[in-house]
Amino acid sequence: MEHAQLDSKGWSHLLARLGGEKAIASSAREHGAFVRARGVKSAVDVLRLALMYGPGGQSLRSLAALAAAAGLADISDVAILDRLKNAGNWLQALCEETLARIAKKIGAKAGTRPIRIVDGSRLEGPGERVWRLHLCYDPRLARIVDAAITTTKEGERLDLLEVTPGEIRLGDRGFPQPDGIRNTLAASADVLVRLTWNSLQLSAKGKPIDWRKLFERTRKQGVVDMPVCVHKAHSSFEPLKMRLVIIKKPPAAAAKARVKARRASQKNQRRTDPRTLAAADFIILLTSLSREEFSVDQLAALYRLRWQIELAIKRLKSIMHIDQLPAKHPDLVRAWLHAHLLLALLLDELAAKLGDIPPSPVGFTKAVNLAGNHAPRSSTARHHLAPA
């Protein structure tokens, strides 16, 4: 974000989406980001500095020089650092307010079951500190609908981001945890997650799953669809009644997965469990969706929507460079990360208003129609997240 663009109509529109200058000033005072004009004239100017430092890619030293030349702020790079460190909570609050506005707008238009994909990604910076970006993505709307930035102490969970009643929540192999599944179901949502054979403790007809027999059965039939119970070891956890679906992969995909499993085993210098090699031939899904609602083919089509959140994360990294943290101080890192996330959310909102609807991939169209959405929209060429 070059300074020449900060006084454009685009900047005014950005401020309007955040409620206008008065709302921004009030929010900044509430969160201690701007108390009095000392070197920086207004809360809006603090926001400018944060966006120039974050997605704008300016160093603190170059930012101080640019701000002074433009009459934005005549302070040292150390003073800017202090300002930005104090802005972390405020920028996070602006992200949360933006997400709340999106949720309200989506809720007003709801009428079909939302499909929500969750995923996380590590963000590594200087030193040993690592952060984690958590996203919730709506493929029908082609936009981020919830997000959080935490340290890696906060692991990936299905229920970490707010669950909307009635939604179908999709997650990959990092998300099948008994508590997260239980809490998501308790929020009146459904779950569809991918498993490995040792992700969860499962039973069928009161007996533990025999994965070797189950894989052999799937190899012969092509598909297995059966009721199971999810347990939690060494706990009074009430078993969850779920549905296990195993689908045989095409030969080429299965061969590629087996090679990957062997390489992982060699890298970790341990013997590969025969069940791991056998599992490479199959896609294993766990869901609360009934057979009456979704057939096996429909579940497979629905799960294939997961690639869209992977693209959203890739855009944040490859275009906005959210993973290239320059700072070590936690408060400065939080300001840098939330400045990126705020701009991404605002650009998502702009893209939605432009109504850019490229041709929908077959899998997306099919899965969304299955969930009752009769006007599917693809994110294949949406979200251009480069700084304005």
What's the pLDDT score for residue 310? 93
Residue pointed to by tokens 């899904």: 285
- For residue 96, with 0-12 CB atoms within 10 Å meaning exposed, 13-18 middle and 19 or more buried, which class applies? middle
Comparing 312 with 71, the larger pLDDT belongs to 312
Return the closest-CA partner of residue 15 out of 31, 2, 28, 4.
Answer: 28
Average pLDDT, integer, range 227-231: 96
pLDDT in tens, 146-194: 999 999 888 899 999 999 999 999 999 999 999 999 999 999 999 999 9
Q: pTM for the complete prediction?
A: 0.83
Q: How far apart are CA 240 and CA 202, in angstroms?
A: 10
80 has pLDDT over 70: yes
What's the pLDDT score for residue 251? 86
19 has pLDDT over 70: yes
Beta strand pairing status for 130-138 and 115-124?
antiparallel
Comparing 342 with 350, the larger pLDDT belongs to 342
Counting every residue, how long is the chain? Answer: 388
Return the closest-CA partner of residue 48 out of 100, 91, 93.
Answer: 91
Six token digits for residue 103: 């949720």
Domains (range + CATH), the chain: 1-86 (no CATH), 92-310 (3.90.350)
6 — pLDDT class (breaks 50, 70, 90): very low
Q: DSSP H helical segments within the chain, as ranges?
A: 9-17, 21-30, 43-53, 60-70, 77-85, 88-109, 178-186, 211-221, 251-267, 274-279, 296-303, 307-318, 330-354, 362-370
Q: How far apart are CA 230 and CA 28, in angstroms?
A: 46
What's the pLDDT score for residue 200? 94
Q: How far apart are CA 148 and CA 160, in angstroms?
A: 9
Six token digits for residue 88: 């972390």
**Average pLDDT value for the chain:** 85
With beta carbons less than 8 A apart as the criterion, state whether 117 and 306 touch: yes
Comparing 364 with 137, the larger pLDDT belongs to 137
In the Cβ-directed half-sphere of 63, how many Cα atoms lie within 13 Å? 26
Comparing 160 with 375, the larger pLDDT belongs to 160
Average pLDDT, integer, range 230-234: 90
Q: How far apart are CA 254 and CA 147, in angstroms?
A: 34
Six token digits for residue 323: 């993973």
What's the pLDDT score for residue 8? 61
CA torsion angle 10 13 18 20 (round to 10): 120
Return the closest-CA partner of residue 168 out of 207, 113, 131, 126.
Answer: 113
